[in-house]
Structure 1
Amino acid sequence: MRNVGGERVQEAVAGSVALLRTVTDRDWEGVGAGRLEWSCRATVLHIASDLIAYAGQLAGRAQSAYVPFGITLDDGTDNDGLLDVVETTGALLTAAVRTAPREARAFHPYPFRSANREGFAAMGVAEVLLHTHDIAEGLGLAYEPAPELAEFVLTRIFPQVRPGPDHWRTLLWATGRGELPDRAALTEWRWHNNLVVPADRLTLQGVTPASAADLAAGGDGGFAWVEDGPCDGTREAAKMVLKGYEGGVHRAEFGVFALVRREDGRAVGAMGFHGAPDEDGRVEIGYDLTESSRGNGYATEALNALAAHALARDDVRAVIAIIDHDNVPSQSVVTRAGFTRAALDEERATSEGREADGPLRVYVRTA
């Protein structure tokens, strides 16, 4: 999957500036930006401030907080000059996204305290699209960005939002700015960058709906795989992510994660959940490792890290793994990761109704 984040930032900024250049002779300071408490001029400055902040975070790889700097305009800067600043800060974010390595991450507070280059690109595009909408609403202008820009944002940082037939109106609804006929209006919202769970030699990187779609279609999902990856099981898991996303039930915390080696940034497999916890707080986990990567302890390491991460949550009481009775290597993996064999009656109840070539083994890990 090609890194298109820089292009999307560039397109979003160009569309916004082109519209606002037509009304630079109007009063931006005395007019409110839609439903915001800011003036239109303050909102344009906010766009520029976010773009430079994201560029700085990503380029500098800030890890614990925002880099403490901001934009100060020269006295007498008019509306045209302010748009020059937006174009410049947009170009800086575009460059930062295009040049950042695949594995680069930097601090952002919501909700998992970091973002990768696609996340920063999507946040930048979101700021441009949404606040241009606010400004246009205040100034009485018609504004509708290209649908692929809204789709880019939704499939990267709004994995919890069920897609609609119109990406732009879905994004407006998801950010409390619009209505959809089959959904209640939102008063609170938050975007979600992909979750990364650290392990010793690996990082477990959350697969976004955009990555899942690419994997399901035969692509790499934006990851650099070892020579025999991704596996068929990984592609099937990606299809499960897409199904959950399209149904509006996908939760990034209980999705699929690519297992990426720290030493070279290569993905060696995938691991994830079959959905959110049930009413008893039980969540099922599964995994897939490329043949060339087996025998190195990667599956055990990743399983231990992801199970511990899940069990640290208040809504998870047990993580279960269901394994074919003759898959001894996989049973050894879960045992080394702290899972124990379930009682026979629990095993029968858990595996009842599942299609399998033979008996199934159920293993459980609790906090």
Structure 2
Amino acid sequence: MIRAALFLLILLVPSVGLGSSVRLKDLVEFDGVRGNDLVGYGLVVGLNGTGDGLRNSPFTEEMMINILERLGVNVGGEQFRPKNVAAVLVTATLPAFSRTGGKVDVTVSAIGDAKSLLGGTLIMTPLNAADGDVYVVAQGTVIAGGVSAEGDAARVVHGVPTAGIVPAGGRVEREVEFDFTQLSSLRMALRTPDFSTAEKIEKAVNVALGRPAALMLDSGTVELNIDATGMRSPAHVLSRIENIIVAPERRARVVIDQRSGTIVMDENVRISRVAVAQGNLTLTIEEAPIVIQPNPFSEGETVVVPRTAATLEEDEGTGLAEIPPGATLRDVISGLNALGVKPMAMIDILKSIKAAGALHAEFIVQ
């Protein structure tokens, strides 16, 4: 029997709305206070036979030869095929205001045909920023994020053993040249642009400082005049305002992930007056083949005659159900439940309500 089914998980997550308190530092990004992405190319050694096949990854062999020659080992003309070495890309983020000698976490990912980085050690790898300069040097033991086991005829992989991290494996060798103390103004960029939220931030900052130092420029930017605050440095200003409590506004949204069958609806979702009817069809296919054999001692062949039984059933519906105008999230869910709607039909119903112009929310399908 073959029966089609779709399983759906519905999450009702209330958004941050009126009366909810959020710190300013959780709503905005401060101009100049940002990290810098780093990348490098290196080798992981010490693997238990799970490294790159050097015939398929010649770049691994070339880099290994270069490293050995820099260490004073002459390998010119030698033919070696170790299986305990893997070429990797190393990435990291240099936090804002990192100082020389500080440490950062680095991520290691195989780029050849290595099967696992478990138990490996990352050899000294310089990490470059977008300007081409080296800011961090990484080295250390790799902690892979998975497990791999194999035998003569089967292999089992759990997680991703070809990627891992080196905790505190990168040491800062160069600082980003940026004098934060010389800023005369500082912009605050909202993570979710909204005019109402930007205005609330402007008012809250001015009240906290006791003077009109903040100015809303647009829905995503609030500018702070450092000189107008009368404080000694931008750092003192930020320490004063970053914990200010603001009640942000958000757009009503319905987010649907069709791959996993997840629905997330904002608490501000509203529906106009609309009538909804829902029904389900179930398709059942049964295979019952018949085997016909020839008589004993007679010339003939065994024949399999296919026999298929297909039925199409329609569940009894509950007719039209009316959802009143201005319905809230709770009203919407109660109305759909009154129809006896199963999770498998929820996505289609929401799409239809949106297409009818009755769903007043941003509709996002992933």
| Smaller-chain TM-score bracket | under 0.3
TM-score, normalised with respect to structure 1: 0.22
Could you say which structure has the higher strand fraction?
Answer: 2
TM-score, normalised with respect to structure 2: 0.22
The structure, 1 or 2, with the larger RCO (C-alpha pairs under 8 Å, 6+ apart) is: 2
